[in-house]
Amino acid sequence: MNQDQIEAESDPSQRASTAGLTTKVVKGSMWTVAGQIAPLICTFASTYFVVRILAAEGMGVLAALVLIPNYFTFADLGMSLASTKFASEAYAEGDTAREGRIVRTAALIAMLTAMPVAAAFILFSVPILTHFNVPENYLADASTALKIGSVTFLLNFLCSIVNTPQLSRLRMDLNTFINASTRIAGIVAAPIVLYLGFGIVGVATALFVANLACLIGHLAISGRLLGGKLFEFSIDRAMLRPLLNYGFAYIAAATAGVFLINGEKGILTNSTSTTTLAFYTASFTLASMLTMFSGSVVQSLLPAFAQLQTEEKSDHLGSLYSTGVRLNLFWIVPTIAFLFVVAKPFFTIYYKSDPRFGIESPVPFYILLGGVAFNIVAYLPYSSIMAAGRVNALAKLFWIEVVPYLVMTVFLTRSFGIIGAAMSWSIRAVIDSVIQFIMASRIANVRFDVRDFGVRAFGAMLIFMPTAVLCVLRPEDLLWTLPLFLVSLAVYSVFAWRVLLSELEREWLMNRAKAMFPAKTRS
């Protein structure tokens, strides 16, 4: 952390500059991805020891304690996103006092809506845990752990709101450092407290301490960035209605999203079996991991787009939007081609205890990749619509999609089983992405040449088409598919550099490469 840089950004006389915004978005996204990957690796390592200490029964109880609060992740009424959107606009205007009031107002709303849920966890901990079939010998400790977890539940919401000044300034390095370091500390502490004999209550306490440290870290950094204006006692009464409207619309959109993202899984289980669901889940989990980067981009794009919501900055907004779309295409096409190559060997080796995964999972995985590709690119129009404050438009779109999607899923799943479920999800994702691009052009006034982009995208996909076809026909033959992929990748690299990227984007990438790998000066 650079102390001088933090102090410079806390100067209320400095209006936010949009210079180098693309670089900030990309850097911020990379920091966010890193902040997700590092704890993920620690989780895999920690889980190994936790399972050995708790065994299957105790691990199931711990999993239930983590799962229960996850059902209420929208209890903050979407105030984390609302705070980012409106506070970023205030920062763009150079009004840090108003920015601080917005953060405090959003935090107040989140606590008022989330505290009843936390109170229910405390008052009804035993019935809740009984519903989840927690064994009698674990019930007392699990009840105490859930009560501690209810406070951690509130701390999580506060952390996601208090970090707003960091997001407004696209200081994802600071945000990621605080989030990832405290999260890793909690993950590492779990097997240690179990080994020392403190049980699941000790794990819950360790996670509470980690989240408390996270909140303290965000308060310290965000307070400095706002020049102390975060710690005043006033709220912005004028922002109550906009924040609530934004929050309610987000909840409506997120609720519909649950059906759109997971609806086919329930229908597939009903039409076939839980075993088929296991094969499909393996495909879906691997395919959806591609969205990790684009999901992280939203955290940077939302404040960036929010800062450009003025007429004089519309050109900059359009430029950032179109650049984001092309850069997404730049990495998506070769990545999907590579996954085509390794899918069959991966499912065969990773699930070697059950060879059926290597037979049943690859084909739905191939189909899902098409929908995921469109879904990733759609994060750009999604973020622009969110930044424009039209979450209600997304909520309407998602709810309109629910019934046709579920009907289509029932028909395709009953007709084609696991392949039909994958087809349904991908078809919906493609249609949804196209509609969001149309909505963004009308709502957020962001446009780019669709025909030109479509031709370039088709050309990019055509380069890898022989690799994809060979993978489907001979999925296990890496001696043919891998060399063909490498040749296609070489051709694609030239095509992407000369055709897919604009001159300004090529110059931008070269400057970034020079900054990362500076030439050594000769003595």
What confidence category does residue 286 fall into, taking pLDDT thresholds of 50, 70 and 90? Answer: confident
Two tokens, residue 193: 């407290």
Q: What angle do CA 271, 398, 387 make, to 5 degrees?
A: 145
Q: Which residues of 374-401 are buried (b: 16+ CB within 10 A; e: fewer)?
A: bbbbbbbbbbbbbbbbbbbbbbbbbbeb
Integer Cα distance of 203 and 186 in angstroms: 8
Integer Cα distance of 406 and 413 in angstroms: 10
pLDDT in the model for residue 213:
97
Integer Cα distance of 266 and 260 in angstroms: 11
Backbone angles phi, psi at 365, to 5 degrees: -65, -45
Q: Do 395 and 253 touch, CB atoms closer than 8 A? A: yes
Q: Tell me the residue length of the chain.
A: 523
Integer Cα distance of 128 and 121 in angstroms: 8
Which is nearest to 242 in space by CA: 234, 233, 250?
250
330-386 pLDDT, tens per residue?
Answer: 888 898 989 988 888 888 887 887 888 888 889 999 999 999 988 888 888 998 998
pTM: 0.77
What string of DSSP letters covers 73-95? TTTTTTHHHHHHHHHHHHHHTT-
Q: Do 398 and 369 touch, CB atoms closer than 8 A? A: no
Handedness of CA 131, 136, 137, 141 (dihedral sign): positive
Integer Cα distance of 410 and 417 in angstroms: 10
Distances (CA, A) of 262 to 60, 68, 155, 265, 399: 22, 18, 28, 6, 14
Q: Do 337 and 460 touch, CB atoms closer than 8 A? A: no
Two tokens, residue 201: 């209550």
Which is nearest to 172 in space by CA: 29, 326, 370, 346?
29
pLDDT in the model for residue 222:
95
Q: Which SS3 state, helix, strand or coil, does residue 342 take?
A: helix
How far the first Cα of the chain sits from its last, in Å, is: 32
32-70 pLDDT, tens per residue?
Answer: 777 777 887 887 788 778 878 887 678 778 877 887 887
Least confident of 114-118, 451-455, 465-469: 451-455
